[in-house]
Structure 1
């Protein structure tokens, strides 16, 4: 019998599942000093390219986490599309609306990076902060009570461990063990019954240019599309099976690709079969247990929404767990996780499904992707944490619950350029005072995690010579920015800041 080890320790959060959501949550907890463990049942890191599109809002999250440089260095802009017929290129087009960075939006279009590399960057950042992933450790059972969660883990060599934590987060994928154990309803539908196969494969002998995403749409058994993966000789390959069942064995994948494209193929590094479904959990919180990422919602790959929504689940939950465990906030703050993320996930799920069903033979590959998929307009205006005290606002005005825009300003003392995103970066709240708005007498005393900056007006910390901050926010007012980069409070009255619930307790 394996040895049973009773563990009490200091771990406050157990995260089951080290995909994008689990890694971002671990990073959020690490930089806030919250003891946690991140476990994954797999023996090694995920090797494939599956979720490869990083939307602009996710790039902003990565900017805040300190990894955007590595993300950009390892990836590339999305390629344009080209269609092949009978060995000839017959059409080129762009599947997405592209834009240029602006002062308030520094990341204007999706970034291409295979999921395995995204996770690698996040693991490296986690290691810098003293964290790690415990691979080969499986959550086998848990029970919760009013004071915490007792979890049983199995590890290498049939090791058995019992841990006691304050909270458990299931970020363990679409077949979530945590969700199943909770008995949480997972309601969904089959978006497309046709099976698909995705693979990462070499195409060195085929001579395909790496500046385009190549498609073959006319084969009677289904379309093929190949996207070049940056800084490699690999193509992520989608194969649709309108007749027959996919076989992920490497030789079978190579044979199908050659049959449908007429091209010679190389090594298959990774392959996976899927049928496109959309589903969402009825609840994202059950007592002291939370669901995040694919454990809470699964999407069509159309529009590149699933991985991004998962990352932002964790970004939302992380600071709230820390506020409760380390900052003295009430447990009720954690209810806002479901209140905010469930409606967002439902909307994004609808967008992915519409994009998929708006296509024909190529499934998710021919859908045009507009700015609605960038996730910059998603927000939490209806959240209990969003407090808007101003009246008579224009329809286009920034409001509580909206994403807080960036803006380049000048340090009033040194003249150095300082982006608002640089000021927001980190685990703190940020209070912006625009113009001559009166500051609360002791803003820094409200919480140790608040930083205050006056933009323009009397005794400014920052100057706004080109008016970017004024246009993005207002020429007067107080804006309290949450740690996850959303406007929590917008007001003209200094007294409202002290009464804002998440920092007032």
Structure 2
């Protein structure tokens, strides 16, 4: 940590995005503080879907098995007809995992359980969020940010290198920066509640009156709990009785069934759906991300996932610059993440429109976020140019089963796991790239440390003899270069702060 600073990074907002950023900084030994104005962790299930790309991120952060253990897969969708009969169908398109895509089924983990797992992981690095600690003002200059925070212990002034606002849709940081937040209200008001109830089984996601914005309602069993999440569109105006008695009467009116009895309401919210995106993600040394930068309708399960991936993109870049990489690296955060948010907002809005017009639609590959990438990024280098049918720089780096030279089976993702960059050489001269800090080098071929049984690495990446593949810390391909272009690879490494060892 720079001694002029209280800490290197101050993160405002300890939800899923803020926790992901904190874990990523912690494993890179970057000094930070994580604060949240709420007196205690968020207790609701608002974001419950974890898409396959986020599962890959959570594997890298060391929590995927814990999340599967506390959650589960989505139940089938059960649509009830007016006569009381029903039909079951999968909520998600079913796909088998493949060598290059190990996670293809979205997980259901209520948001409060996801965040509890992330807090536990953060504690393993010796850190915890400071709840009941509110950012009240900040000023910045060319050298850092002066932040003022208030808690039960009083007021405190911090001098930090960078401030990151992961503080939700009503973000104080975004407002303080005067960043515009254009978009639209989608003319849908909805209710969501976590309840304990009687009258419905946990074997299905129960849906009534699909296609009717006046009577549509659903009861989704929340994996890892004994609760259901109740969801429904509600009138644009007027109060909704969110008590157990009120929701029991409401359920009877919507479903025509007297046997559905709400016994307890643990969390509830009535809200207007919006689709908005910030005009910019950065002003000087202050960044925003997550819901502070984009808010989505809940259709498609994109909001929490896009937010987590914002943090995953920003974490390694902040750490690199703090450790001496060129400052220009930070400009690529907005360059890469803002177009992704725009695409996900479009998808969520399209799925909402389908739900209104046709009573819902099965979620397919487009929601998995595996095909998102940064091929147009200034951090993406192909030398020479490659066919778009092949993996190119900016794409998500595929997984593949491999065997180490010592005989043990493993996967590419295990080589990538951690805060480092990874350089894969296919039938190359290993000595062509000297060791560098934060770079793990592996080679396939004669005297290589990786054995590509079945050619899945070669075929998955579309490699020819002499090719080098540089994988970023966030699991995207940074560069693919031939041995004749090795000088371009060295310049790339210099530009992102991967320095030769003296």
For the criterion TM > 0.5, the same-fold answer is yes
Q: Give the deviation of 1:109 after TM superposition.
A: 1.6
Aligned residue number for residue 180 of structure 2: 185
Q: Give the deviation of 1:243 after TM superposition.
A: 6.9
Match of 2:374 among 363, 375, 380: 380
Distance 1:425 1:275 in 2: 39
Q: Give the deviation of 1:211 after TM superposition.
A: 2.0
Q: Give the deviation of 1:265 after TM superposition.
A: 2.0
Give ranges in structure 1 of 5+ residues lacking alignment.
Answer: 1-6
Aligned residue number for residue 247 of structure 1: 241
Aligned residue number for residue 318 of structure 1: 315
Pairing 1:21–2:14 present: no
Aligned residue number for residue 4 of structure 1: none
Give ranges in structure 2 of 5+ residues lacking alignment.
Answer: none
Aligned residue number for residue 305 of structure 1: 302
Secondary structure of residue in 1 paired with 2:473: coil
Match of 1:99 among 60, 85, 95: 95
Cα deviation 1:279-319 (Å, max 9, x = unaligned): 00000011000001000000011100000000000000000
Pairing 1:289–2:255 present: no
Cα deviation 1:441-472 (Å, max 9, x = unaligned): 34323xx10000112x1111111112211111
Distance 1:111 1:423 in 2: 24
Cα deviation 1:22-43 (Å, max 9, x = unaligned): 0000001000000000000000
Q: Give the deviation of 1:274 after TM superposition.
A: 1.1
Match of 2:194 among 175, 193, 200: 200
Aligned residue number for residue 409 of structure 1: 402
Q: Give the deviation of 1:195 after TM superposition.
A: 1.6
Structure 1 residues 267, 375: CA separation in 2 closer, same or farther (over 3 Å shift)? same
Aligned runs of 1:460-499 on 2, under 5 Å?
A: 460-473=448-461, 474-476=463-465, 477-493=467-483, 494-499=486-491
Q: How many residues align?
A: 486
Secondary structure of residue in 2 paired with 1:397: coil
Given that 1:293 and 1:307 are in contact with CA atoms closer than 8 Å, whether structure 2 keeps it comes out as: yes
Structure 1 residues 220, 449: CA separation in 2 closer, same or farther (over 3 Å shift)? closer
Aligned residue number for residue 224 of structure 1: 217
Given that 1:443 and 1:452 are in contact with CA atoms closer than 8 Å, whether structure 2 keeps it comes out as: no
Given that 1:223 and 1:361 are in contact with CA atoms closer than 8 Å, whether structure 2 keeps it comes out as: no
4+ runs deviating over 4 angstroms: none
Given that 2:74 and 2:91 are in contact with CA atoms closer than 8 Å, whether structure 1 keeps it comes out as: no
Pairing 1:41–2:31 present: no
Given that 1:440 and 1:495 are in contact with CA atoms closer than 8 Å, whether structure 2 keeps it comes out as: no
- Give TM-score, length-normalised by structure 2: 0.93
Distance 1:270 1:216 in 2: 22
Structure 1 residues 384, 84: CA separation in 2 closer, same or farther (over 3 Å shift)? same
Secondary structure of residue in 2 paired with 1:63: helix
Distance 1:273 1:504 in 2: 48
Structure 1, 13-22 or 464-473: larger mean CA deviation: 464-473
Given that 2:438 and 2:498 are in contact with CA atoms closer than 8 Å, whether structure 1 keeps it comes out as: no
Cα deviation 1:173-200 (Å, max 9, x = unaligned): 0000000000000001012x23211001
C-alpha RMSD of the superposition: 1.8
